[in-house]
Amino acid sequence: MKMRDLTGKVAVITGASSGIGEATARLLVAEGVRVVLVARRRERIDALVAELGDAALALTADVGDAAAVADVFAEVERRFGGLDLLFNNAGLGVNAKFEASDPADWKRMIDVNLYGVLHCTQAAIPLLRGRPGAMISSVSSVGGRYGTESWSVYSATKFAVVGFHDALRKELGSEGIRVSVIEPGAVWTEFGQNVSDAMRDRRESLDALTSEDVAQALVYAFAQPPRVLVEEILIRPVKQVSP
């Protein structure tokens, strides 16, 4: 089946400096999409621009910072006049039993995983309006569908993303703006590398997904005809039989 031609579409990818965001940028550019790479680590997104060429633009921002996010979308509007895809992918997780967890870590996760999605989505909506097939896709997690031991606050932020999207879909669907979530299971990325060898061992034993596996799911959803909303994609390693 031939996918919809995505040539010339414009996408903002948050968390484009590594993992799923970086893989998605590569795949979208291969499909002819112009990508705006957003992350804090300037050198990483500059290196990706050097690889991808004129189809990519790097803009540094902390997605938890509303003013920095506003600057990103003002620049997107100035350069491209609109937007076809917002991929809310930036996120972080801190692994800890809740009783021993640090409120400073709760705040970091809420700032990025929830406020980051809210700031970027609110700034993007006016740019998505009127663009056929426009889509907002946010990365939740299997941990946003099922609570996971030692990931309680992370899970809470990812459940929040699912709830937010279900409500937003009802606000924007009649305008033809597609609102979608992707819920990956274990993926080989830098995510959670701070936690322990146990996580690495678990990824090995599960034969974890690659970032490209998740990026393919995003491109599948985006490349559907504008009338088609792929509302939710839960994608996990086949061996990950429980959360």
Ligand X SMILES: NC(=O)c1ccc[n+]([C@@H]2O[C@H](COP(=O)([O-])OP(=O)(O)OC[C@H]3O[C@@H](n4cnc5c(N)ncnc54)[C@H](OP(=O)(O)O)[C@@H]3O)[C@@H](O)[C@H]2O)c1
Catalytic residues: 154
Q: Where are the alpha helices (DSSP H) in 115-210?
A: 116-128, 152-172, 197-206
Binding mask 60-89 for ligand X (x = CB under 6 A): --xxx------------------------x
Strand 34-39 to strand 10-14: parallel, antiparallel, or no bridges (unpaired)?
parallel
Distance of CA 13 to the CA centre of its chain: 7
Q: CB 29 → ligand X: shortest distance, Å?
A: 16
Site for ligand X contains 120 (CB under 6 A): no
Consecutive H or E run containing 69: helix 66-80
Nearer to ligand X, 80 or 151 (CB): 151
Binding mask 44-63 for ligand X (x = CB under 6 A): x-----------------xx
| Total site size for ligand X, rule CB under 6 A | 30
Shortest gap between Cβ of 68 and ligand X (angstroms)? Answer: 8
Which one of 28, 124, 139, 172 is in contact with ligand X (CB under 6 A)? 139
Helices (H) then strands (E): counts for the chain: 8, 7
Tokens standing for residue 10: 């414009």
Residue 40 is a binding residue for ligand X (CB under 6 A): yes
| Closest of 118, 125, 115 to residue 83, by C-alpha | 125
Mention every residue, 6+ apart, whose C-beta is less than 8 A from residue 156: none
Residues of this chain that bind ligand X (CB under 6 A): 14-21, 39-41, 44, 62-64, 89-93, 112, 139, 141, 184, 186-187, 189-191, 211
